[in-house]
């Protein structure tokens, strides 16, 4: 990638840069981003499979960072970034199976002001979620869908400790029980809990409000 291409990807007058599914973008583009550190605040790199750890360490004072679906991403890099980019408020680590509990524990300690965290389909469990709940008291949004090791324990720790929580994504967290979810929905009405069953119920309720009639009653 030429320097002109890098400047196009990371413009000096715009604080947000998107490189979603840009399969050919390489580390050289980030050299321009580093020089323009005062302007750059948001970076989205979903699917940029040629981006390596070396490039990510060049990113300075960010508030929003999307590192989803990066095959070369490592937990050490995420920890390093979180220790040097203290202004991050929104972090997306989804679709990175390498992201584990140790990584979540480290980044949550480094980013106590985190507002939004997306870890869909990561290799995390209740231990990692408990660390986030303990270290990130201002968390508003957490999506841990498709994380099969999450149980009722992890869900309860987040909802009880994060007083500002507004959304908790739990699609296909199959070890989280319906009984627990029904209890939490009543106990924490401020939180939008998203599970397959709850979303199905909402869809049916909306359809009924709009006048749809079902020939066969679907079990609740």
Instruction: List, in order of start, the domains of the chain with CATH numbers.
Output: 3-209 (3.80.10.10)
Mean pLDDT in residue range 143-169? 97
DSSP 8-state symbol, 125? B
57-90 pLDDT tens trace: 666 768 899 999 999 899 999 999 999 889 999 9
Mean pLDDT calculated for residue range 10-18: 42
Q: Which of 185, 205, 183 is nearest to 194 (CA)?
A: 185
Cβ-proximal residues to 18 (8 Å cutoff; 6+ apart), any chain: 44
Average pLDDT over residues 149-175: 97
Contact 76, 57 (CB under 8 A): no
Whole-prediction pTM: 0.74
| Coil, strand or helix at 163 | coil
Mean pLDDT of 118-131: 98
CB neighbour list of residue 140: distance below 8 Å, 6 or more residues apart = 115, 116, 164, 165, 166, 167
Q: What is the CA radius of gyration of the chain?
A: 19
- 111-114 own/partner pairs: CB under 8 Å, 24+ apart: 111/82, 111/86, 111/135, 111/136, 112/136, 112/137, 112/138, 113/86, 113/87, 113/89, 113/138, 114/88, 114/89, 114/90, 114/138, 114/139
């Amino acid at each position: 990638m030429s320097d002109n291409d890098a400047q196009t990807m990371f413009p000096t007058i715009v604080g947000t840069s998107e490189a979603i599914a840009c399969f050919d973008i390489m580390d050289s583009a980030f050299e321009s981003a580093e020089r323009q550190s005062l302007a750059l605040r948001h970076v989205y790199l979903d699917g940029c499979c040629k981006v390596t750890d070396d490039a990510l360490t060049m990113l300075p004072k960010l508030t929003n960072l999307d590192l989803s679906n990066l095959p070369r991403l490592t937990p050490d890099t995420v920890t390093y970034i979180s220790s040097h980019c203290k202004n991050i408020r929104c972090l997306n680590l989804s679709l990175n199976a390498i992201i584990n509990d140790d990584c979540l524990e480290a980044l949550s300690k480094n980013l106590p002001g985190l507002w939004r965290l997306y870890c869909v389909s990561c290799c995390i469990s209740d231990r990692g979620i408990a660390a986030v709940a303990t270290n990130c008291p201002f968390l508003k949004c957490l999506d841990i869908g498709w994380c099969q090791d999450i149980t009722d324990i992890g869900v309860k720790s987040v909802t009880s400790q994060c007083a500002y929580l507004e959304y908790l994504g739990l699609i296909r967290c199959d070890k989280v029980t319906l009984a627990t979810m029904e209890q939490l929905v009543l106990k924490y009405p401020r939180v939008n809990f998203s599970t397959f069953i709850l979303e199905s119920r909402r869809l049916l309720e909306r359809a009924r409000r709009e006048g749809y009639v079902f020939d066969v009653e679907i079990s609740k």
